[in-house]
């Protein structure tokens, strides 16, 4: 992607500023301009409660999900070439027969299946069907339960549920997915991936590019490998498999349930162990939905985050930005060539319920504080502040007020040390918030300020609201270089640029 001045716009549609710093301010702010403008922007975020969302009438009911739950298990694999893996599986046709994704168990010495509320059972690989990335596990002395049934129907245009152990949680959870029309018009895996991911998949050897998939929008997360995707009747229509690492929340797909018949006809394995898959080239295109053991976790405000992916380049993250023109405008003001910015590395911290992806400059760790989490660079000159809060469901009449209160609390938490010398910069701030797929609300604001006799400071804030969660991400610099003043040093300035771009790219899946 080329970042040029020609044809770009600032996020709110204003003309792109001709500055080399990030963010831009027409003049040094003064006085107490922050609270009123910030409150208006925060209130506007909560005011947009009525949004277009994917249809939900066909999704599984609570009764259906409760009936399916006992058959859904956590798969724990160890001795996998020096690593451990976590995924999901489900009982199919009998209680002792567990389906999961092949890449969860391939090359692993020891397998365990955890039946929630009952306990673990040892397992072995009984059969595998490599083209569809499926494995069938045999479990000794399984508990009494009703296995799931499968359907070959393609629920295009419907809201289905992936039910499993996303982000390696200890309890199973369901998450909505929307089956896109691409599942019938371009149903093959080869149609859903780019050239980079095709190379990786060919090297791994599973799943095959000719495999039929369900293309979905929504919260397919690490840990959902092998998880059942359920239709309104509670039947398995897909099995969680993989995705593209196109951004902070990725893009996922599920293997069509019709391949379960192929799995049942596959030859039995004599030694109970699935051989390892091939070695994928070092490329960020494709991501399995397996979560390795030992992932970092942090509770930020009222929500839990886990470091789910590491070392993604800015160029990879930009591919799924919800506001490409706004990103180009803010990135070009950094005063650094695009190849320098594109090479910046980021880790992704995923919020466990909403699936929101928060970008953090590589190596930064979210450390819990009183009101959220902070990652810090340059001896405290640059911070990234992250926090989340529970809110009622979006269809609850109290939702707009809850969003306003929680996002206001987020702004107050990081801004206290800078008040009253803080002011919104309209050049890099939305006016009203914007709506995204599936009921997402998003607002971005830039603040600048300067205490008398001290160096200027600045912050870039992204506010997200969807469903039962609000999330805020704020990049803060305590030494902001105005156009005529150089940055304190290049490393500090790059840390600030990276933090601001990370805040801009954080989002929630559709």
Show Cβ contacts of residue 47 under 8 Å, excluding neighbours closer than 6 positions.
400, 432
Residue 8: inside a domain: no
| Same-domain pairing of 227 and 280 | yes
| 307 and 272 both lie in a single domain | no
Exposure string of 296-316, with b = 16+ CB inside 10 Å and e = fewer, is: eebebbebbbbbbbeebbbeb
Provide the residue range defining the domain that includes 306. 296-505
- Residue 5 belongs to some domain of the structure: no
279 and 302 fall within a common domain: no
288, 321, 340 — which closes off a domain? 288
Same domain, 350 and 308: yes
Give residue for tokens 């152990």: 165
More confident residue, 457 or 204: 457
pLDDT band at 393, cuts 50/70/90? Answer: confident
pLDDT digit string, tens, across residues 151-200: 999 999 888 999 998 877 778 888 888 888 888 888 998 888 877 778 87
C-alpha separations of 289 from 155, 175, 249, 286 in Å: 22, 14, 12, 10
Residue 422 pLDDT > 80? yes
Strand boundaries in 11-167, DSSP class E: 72-78, 85-92, 94-101, 110-115, 119-129, 134-139, 159-164
Q: Distance between CA atoms of 381 and 218, rounded to whole angstroms?
A: 36
Which SS3 state, helix, strand or coil, does residue 115 take?
Answer: strand
What's the pLDDT at 398?
Answer: 94
DSSP for 384-401, please give it.
EEEEEEE---TTSTTHHH
Into how many domains does the chain fold? 2
Convert 401-470 into a string of H (helix), E (strand) and C (coil).
HHHHHHHHHHHHHHHHHHCCCCEECHHHCCCCCEECHHHCEEEEEEEEECCCCCCCEEEEEEEEEECCEE
Mean pLDDT, residues 54-73 taken together: 84
Residues 390 and 278 in one domain: no
| Domain at 223, CATH number | 2.40.10.120
Report phi then psi at 486, rounded to 5: -75, 155
pLDDT over threshold 60, residue 509: yes
Judged by average pLDDT, the poorest of 16-25, 236-245, 258-267, 405-414 is 16-25
Do the bridges between strand 236-244 and strand 228-230 make them parallel or antiparallel, or are there none, so unpaired? antiparallel
For residue 483, the model assigns a pLDDT of 61
**HEC readout, 498-509:** HHHHHHHHCECC
What local confidence, expressed as pLDDT, does residue 454 receive? 86
pLDDT of amino acid 252 = 78
Confidence of residue 10 (pLDDT cuts 50, 70, 90): very low
Q: Are 174 and 166 in contact (CB under 8 A)?
A: no
pLDDT at 291: 56
Task: Give me the mean pLDDT over the 292-305 stretch.
Answer: 83
Mean confidence (pLDDT) of the chain: 83
pLDDT band at 326, cuts 50/70/90? confident
Which ranges of 174-269 would DSSP assign to H, the alpha helix? 182-185, 189-192, 195-204, 260-265
Q: Tell how far CA 64 is from the center of its chain.
A: 27
Whole-Å CA distances, 194 to 136, 213, 251, 411? 29, 15, 12, 39
- Flag whether 27 is in a domain: no
Would you say residue 4 lies in a domain?
no
Strands 367-368 and 373-377: antiparallel
In angstroms, rounded to a whole number, what is the distance separating the alpha carbons of residues 79 and 16? 54
Q: Specify whether the CB–CB gap between 458 and 23 falls below 8 A.
A: yes
Identify which of 141, 138, 123, 155 has the alpha carbon closest to the alpha carbon of residue 92: 138
> Could you tell me if 282 and 329 lie in one domain?
no
- Judged by average pLDDT, the poorest of 182-196, 296-310, 340-354, 479-493 is 479-493
- Of the pLDDT bands very low, low, confident and very high (cuts 50, 70, 90), residue 51 is very low
* 244 vs 396, residue with greater confidence: 396
| b/e code 446-456 from CB counts within 10 Å (16+ = b) | bbbbbeeeeeb
Residue 289 confidence (pLDDT): 62
At 138-148, the pLDDT tens digits run 998 999 999 99
Is 49 among the domain residues? no
Residue 51: phi and psi, rounded to 5, are -130, 155
Q: Kindly give the pairing relationship between strand 72-78 and strand 110-115.
A: antiparallel
**Residue 21 lies inside a defined structural domain of this protein:** no
Query: Per-residue confidence at 485, pLDDT binned at 50, 70, 90?
Result: low
Instruction: State the average pLDDT over residues 358-372.
Output: 94
Q: Which of 267, 288, 309 is the last residue of a domain?
A: 288
Are 321 and 284 in a shared domain?
Answer: no
The answer to whether residue 39 scores a pLDDT higher than 90 is no
Q: Average the pLDDT over 471-475 and give the result.
A: 97
Are 284 and 341 part of one and the same domain? Answer: no
Is residue 41 in some structural domain? no
**323 pLDDT above the threshold of 80:** yes
Which letter does DSSP use for residue 284 in this model?
S
Contact 287, 243 (CB under 8 A): yes
Domain presence at residue 315: yes
**Shared-domain flag, residues 340 and 222:** no
Supply the pTM of this predicted model.
0.74
Q: Are residues 268 and 325 in the same domain?
A: no
Are residues 272 and 302 part of one domain?
Answer: no
pLDDT of 3: 17
pLDDT band at residue 254, thresholds of 50, 70 and 90? very high
Q: Give the pLDDT confidence score for residue 21 in this predicted structure.
A: 47
Q: In terms of domains, do 279 and 307 share one?
A: no
Q: Could you identify the residue written with the tokens 């199919």?
A: 92
Q: What is the pLDDT confidence band of residue 385, given thresholds at 50, 70 and 90?
A: very high
430 near 445, Cβ under 8 Å? yes
């Amino acid at each position: 992607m080329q970042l040029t001045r020609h044809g770009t716009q600032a996020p709110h549609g204003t003309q792109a500023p001709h500055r080399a710093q990030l963010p831009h301010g027409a003049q040094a702010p003064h006085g107490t301009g922050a609270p009123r403008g910030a409150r208006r922007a925060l209130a506007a975020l909560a005011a947009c409660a009525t949004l277009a969302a994917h249809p939900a009438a066909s999704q599984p009911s609570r009764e259906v999900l409760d009936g399916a739950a006992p058959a859904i298990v956590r798969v724990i694999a160890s001795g996998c070439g020096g690593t451990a893996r976590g995924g999901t599986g489900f009982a199919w046709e009998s209680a002792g027969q567990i389906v999961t994704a092949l890449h969860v168990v391939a090359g692993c010495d020891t397998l365990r299946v955890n039946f929630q509320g009952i306990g673990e059972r040892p397992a072995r690989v009984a059969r595998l069907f490599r083209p569809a990335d499926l494995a069938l596990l045999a479990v000794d002395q399984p508990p009494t339960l009703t296995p799931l049934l499968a359907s070959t129907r393609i629920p295009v245009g419907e809201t289905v549920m992936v039910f499993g152990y996303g982000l390696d949680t200890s309890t199973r959870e369901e998450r909505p997915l929307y089956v896109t029309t691409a599942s019938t018009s371009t149903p093959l895996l080869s149609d859903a991936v780019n050239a980079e991911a095709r190379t990786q998949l060919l090297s791994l050897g599973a799943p095959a590019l000719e495999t039929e998939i369900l293309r979905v929008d929504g919260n397919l997360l690490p840990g959902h490998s092998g998880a059942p995707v359920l239709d309104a009747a509670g039947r398995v229509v897909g099995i969680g498999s993989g995705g593209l690492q196109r951004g902070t929340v990725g893009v996922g797909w599920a293997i069509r349930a019709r391949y379960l018949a192929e799995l049942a006809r596959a030859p039995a394995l004599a030694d109970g162990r699935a051989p390892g898959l091939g070695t994928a080239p070092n490329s960020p295109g494709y991501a399995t939905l397996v979560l390795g053991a030992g992932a970092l976790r942090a509770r930020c405000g009222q929500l839990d985050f886990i470091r789910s992916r590491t070392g993604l380049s800015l160029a990879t993250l930009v591919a799924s930005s919800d506001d490409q023109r706004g990103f180009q405008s803010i990135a070009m003001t950094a005063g650094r060539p695009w190849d320098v910015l594109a090479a910046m590395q980021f880790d992704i911290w995923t919020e466990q319920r909403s699936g929101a992806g928060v970008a953090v400059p590589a190596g930064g760790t979210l450390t819990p504080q009183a009101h959220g989490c902070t990652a810090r660079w340059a001896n405290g000159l640059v911070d990234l502040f992250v926090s989340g809060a529970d809110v009622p469901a979006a269809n609850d009449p109290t939702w707009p007020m809850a969003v306003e209160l929680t996002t206001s609390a987020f702004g107050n938490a990081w801004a206290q040390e800078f008040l009253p010398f803080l002011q919104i910069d309209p050049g890099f701030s939305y006016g009203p918030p914007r709506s995204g797929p599936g009921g997402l609300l998003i607002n971005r604001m830039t603040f600048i300020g300067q205490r008398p006799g001290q160096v200027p400071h600045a912050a870039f804030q992204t506010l997200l609201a969807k469903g039962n969660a609000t999330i805020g991400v704020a990049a803060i610099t305590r030494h902001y270089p105005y156009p005529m003043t150089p940055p304190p040093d290049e490393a500090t300035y790059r840390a600030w640029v990276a933090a601001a771009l990370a805040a801009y790219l954080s989002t929630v899946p559709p």
